Structure 1
Amino acid sequence: MFMRSLMACVCLCLWHAAQAEKISPHLDEPASKDLIESWNMDVFPDGEGLPEGSGDAEKGKQVYEAYCLSCHGVEGTGGSADELAGARHSLIDNPPDKTIGTYWPYATTIFDFTRRAMPLNAPGSLSHDQLYAVTAYLLYLNGIIKETDVLNAETLPEVKMPNREGFVQIDAE
């Protein structure tokens, strides 16, 4: 019985190795220009790298309810994932509340992180308009912008986050 199980395990390992060879990531080959450009989507605090598009909190609520609510809860108050709004504690309380309104220093980071990592089951699937809209909704829930404020590549970097000065700048020499 042991030998039969061992042989089955060896055969399975060899089969997986053969399949892996067929779908190899080709790590020995340079990335193509198109592949590099598709990954180059950095957004900086000053707004550099933000794409065209726009959205407001009203549209963002619809996006949130469709893609975010199941993990982040009603109005961002938390669920299986962290709370995004509705902080009841400050950062110096124990425990601290690290919501968007209390912790994040730049509004552009919300857009950038959401574009790269959300929704969890399909990162990168939201359109630019959906991303601006859901960013507006999250900022609205945190009392940072009005529900009617429209976010785009010009207005998003202008949003002053409450904790913008809460981080220590490290000078690299």
Structure 2
Amino acid sequence: MDALKHYPSMAAIMLALACSPVAAQNSGLGTPATPEQIAGWNIEIAPDGKNLPPGSGTIEMGKKVYDTQCLACHGAKLEGGIGPALGGGVGSLATDKPLKTVQSYWPYATTAFDYIRRAMPFHAPQSLTNDEVYAVTGYLLHEYDLIKADTVVNADVIRAVNMPNKDGFYQDDRPDAKNKRCMSDCLKKP
């Protein structure tokens, strides 16, 4: 153990290994996660819309959700406040002060939906129903003229939205950057 005094990083490694799920399972601490517990956290939506949940919402409903759940952080006109602005910034990404918004940054409406669903509202993430997430996503898309006011927003609509920055990203073709994105099928045992 004297070696740990001279090599503090070794102590950190040993502590990390001792606290790992494998160590906990082997020592009788904790329990393996059940498929139901994993499913509760396995909610990611792919850019192509894979895993979009059932549900729908209207722009009018989305405005109500925004006013009650989002306005305090993002402002009455989506201009930002204690949270970031949600609109504007078109053409700013290549500047010294890029403004990353729904309008300027997000390449897919599906990933905007995913982010809202898993991370918003800030004070209570994952508390919105699927219908509320469809509605508020639709409200944001409507505010930037990406869908019409009478649109009933659902998985098909979200998949079909043509975002302003869809061509603003490129495929990373470096040989050392081919990490597989883990979707629900990564969790299945071989």
Bin the TM-score by the shorter chain: 0.7 to 0.9
In structure 2, how many angstroms separate the alpha carbons of the residues matched to 1:27 and 1:99?
44
In structure 2, how many angstroms separate the alpha carbons of the residues matched to 1:27 and 1:158?
47
Aligned partner of 1:82 among 77, 81, 84: 84
State the AA in 2 paired with 1:47. Answer: G
In structure 1, how many angstroms separate the alpha carbons of the residues matched to 2:150 and 2:101?
22
**CA offsets, 1:25-82, max 9 Å, x none?**
x964311111011111111111110111111222111000000000011121100010
Structure 2 portions without partners, runs of 5+ = 1-27, 180-190
SS in 2 for 1:109: helix
Q: Deviating runs (4+, > 4 A) in structure 1?
A: none
What is the aligned partner in structure 1 of residue 4 from structure 2?
A: none
What is the aligned partner in structure 2 of residue 137 from structure 1?
A: 139
Kindly report the root-mean-square deviation, in angstroms, between the aligned alpha carbons of the 2 structures: 2.0
Structure 1 pair 29–152 and aligned structure 2 pair: CA distance change class (3 A): same
- In the TM superposition, what is the alpha-carbon distance from 1:135 to its structure 2 partner? 0.1
Could you say which structure has the greater relative contact order, defined with CA pairs below 8 angstroms and 6 or more residues apart? 1
- In the TM superposition, what is the alpha-carbon distance from 1:140 to its structure 2 partner? 1.3
What is the aligned partner in structure 2 of residue 128 from structure 1?
A: 130
- 1:54–1:152 contact (8 Å) kept in structure 2: yes
In structure 2, how many angstroms separate the alpha carbons of the residues matched to 1:110 and 1:77?
17
Structure 1 portions without partners, runs of 5+ = 1-25
In structure 2, how many angstroms separate the alpha carbons of the residues matched to 1:88 and 1:155?
23
In structure 2, how many angstroms separate the alpha carbons of the residues matched to 1:105 and 1:88?
12
State the AA in 2 paired with 1:124. Answer: Q
TM-score, with length taken from structure 1: 0.79
What is the aligned partner in structure 2 of residue 65 from structure 1?
A: 67
State the AA in 1 paired with 2:102. Answer: I
- Aligned pair count reads 149
State the AA in 1 paired with 2:33. Answer: A
Aligned partner of 2:101 among 99, 102, 105: 99
What is the aligned partner in structure 2 of residue 146 from structure 1?
A: 148
In structure 2, how many angstroms separate the alpha carbons of the residues matched to 1:63 and 1:146?
18
SS in 1 for 2:104: helix
State the AA in 2 paired with 1:169. Answer: Q
Aligned partner of 1:167 among 166, 169, 173: 169
